Chain A
Amino acid sequence: MSSVPDVVITGLGATTPLGGDVASTWRAALAGESGARTLPNDWAETYGIAVSFAAQLKVPAADVLPRPETKRMDPSAQYAIIAAREAWAHAGNPEVAPERLGAVVSSGIGGIWTTLDAWDTMREKGARRVLPMTVPMLMPNSPAAYVELEFGARAGAHALVSACASGAEAIGYACEMIRTGRADVVVAGGTEAAIHPMPLAAFAASRTLSTRNDDPAGASRPYDVQRDGFVLGEGAGIVILESADHAEARGATVLARLVGVGLSSDGYHITSPEPSGRGQVSAMRAALADAGLSTADIVHVNAHATSTVVGDLIEARGVREVLGADADRVALSATKSMTGHLLGGAGALETIFTVLALMDRSAPPTINVSEPDPELVLDLVRDVPRALPDGQIAAINNSFGFGGHNVALVVASA
C-alpha cells in the first residue's frame, strides 16, 4: 500500500536546433546533422565578439505561436510551451485531476532577452516605456508558470536552477513528486533562449565557447583532439512523467521508465569540474543505486560532453570508474556535437534522446570526431547510429552545470 510508485515516461516534446519537434529532431540526430550555423546578423562585427555562430532553433517560435503569446512570454517560455504542448498531445492529452498534476520546468539563465530588451528600452526612452509584463516574463520560473497555467496544474509548479544541469534536475524533481505521492502526472523539462550578443560575449569571455567561426557545423566536437569549447544552442525539451499505475489505468503507451535519479555537488569551483570527477561519479552511482540496477544493465550513456578540453575527459574517466569493465559494452553518445549546448534545455533534450535510443534500439552518433582524444577510455558512437541490444536495457544520461551541479538519470526500456 505504501510502496513507492514507479515512474514512467508517456510523452515527449521538443523544439531544437535540429527540428521543430521530437520526430524531426531525432531524424536529424540519427542522420548526424549539425544545428550550428553562422548567425544571421552582424553581432560579432558590431560588438567585436570572438564567436560568430550558434545553434539557433530550426523552426522559429514566431512561426508556431500566435502573436499575443510571443508578446507575453520570453523566448525561453515560448520554447517550453511549444515543447510542452507536443509532449502533452504525445501522451494522449492525459485526463488527470488538477490537484494531481505538476509542472517542473527549468531554465539555466532565465528571461535574458526580456531583461536586456527592457533595459535598452528604459535607457533609450525612460522608465515610463518599460512594459508591465517585464517581470513576469524575465523571472526564471516563468516557463514553469506558463506550463502550469497551460494545463491548470495545481500539485505544484517548480523551476530548479542549476545552470546546464537544470533540465535534468527538473526531471529528477518531477520524478520525486510522483514517488512521494504529490502528483500522478508531471510536465517536466528544461528550456533556454540565451542566444543574445551579451551572453554570447560573456561565454566567449570565459573561454568556454568554440571559436571555429569558419566551420560552425564542425565546431562542436566532443572527445576530438581538436575540440576547443562548446557551441551555444537554444531550445526546449519536455517529458510527461506519470506514475505507472496512472498510466496503466488510462491505457497510456509507456515509452520508457525513469528508474534512477542521482544528484551531487562538487564543492570545488564555480565553473571548473572537480578534476578527479568524484562528484560526477557519486551522482552516477547514486542514480544506479536508486534504480536498483547493476552496471551490467547499462548499455548506453548520453554524455554531458560539451566539447571542452577539460570537461569531456573528466566525465569519460568518471563513466569508466563507475561502470568498470562493463563500460566496454556501453555505447557512448555526445549529442551536443549536433545540437550545440542548450544550457538549461540540454538535460531535458538529452533525456528525450536517451528514451528514443532505448525505444529505437539505436544510440545516436557523435559527429565531428576526426581523431578521438587518445585519453578517451570509452567506446564512442561516431558518425552513424549504433544498434543497442534487445531485451530489457537501461541507459544513463549525465548533466553537469556551472556551480558544480551533477545530475545523473537512469532510464530503462519499457
Chain B
Amino acid sequence: MAYTEQEILAGLVEIVSEETGLPADSVLPEKSFTDDLDIDSLSMMTIVTLAEEKFDVRIPDDEVKNLATVGDAVSFIVGAQG
C-alpha cells in the first residue's frame, strides 16, 4: 500500500524535526537539508535510515547526495515506492 505525497511529507517532517529539534513548521519542502536545516552527513544518514524504515523504501547511498531539499526527498520516496 503506497503512501500519498502528503503522508510522506508529514512523516519526513516528523523524522527531521525529531532528529534536529527544529519545530515541524520550519521543515518546509523547499528547505535545503544542509544550507537551511544545518544537517550534517551523519544526521542525514540517520534521517535516511529512519525514512527507509518508515516508508518501506530503499534510498541508495548514491542517491542521497541528490536529495538537496526536503521536497527532493519526498519526490524520491514517492517514486521509489513499490
- A residues with a Cβ closer than 8 A to B are 66-69, 71, 125, 128-133, 136
Contact = CB atoms under 8 A, between A and B. Distances in A.
Interface stretch (B1-9, B14-22, B27-35): B14-22
B45 A68 contact: no
Contacts of B53: 125, 129
Contact of B21 (A67, A125, A130): A67
B52 A128 contact: yes
A263 B58 CA distance: 53
A136 B43 CA distance: 12
Interface of B: 18-21, 42, 45-46, 49-50, 52-53
B69 to A, nearest CB: 21
A67 B49 CA distance: 18
Nearest to B58: A128
Contacts of B21: 66-69
B49 A132 contact: yes
A128 B19 contact: no
4 closest A-B pairs by CB: A68-B21, A132-B45, A132-B42, A132-B46
A226 to B, nearest CB: 48
A131 B49 contact: yes
Contacts of B20: 68
Given A125-B53, A128-B52, A133 B46 contact: yes
B63 to A, nearest CB: 14
15 contacts: A66-B21, A67-B18, A67-B21, A71-B18, A71-B19, A128-B49, A129-B49, A129-B52, A131-B46, A131-B49, A132-B45, A132-B49, A133-B42, A133-B46, A136-B42
A395 to B, nearest CB: 42
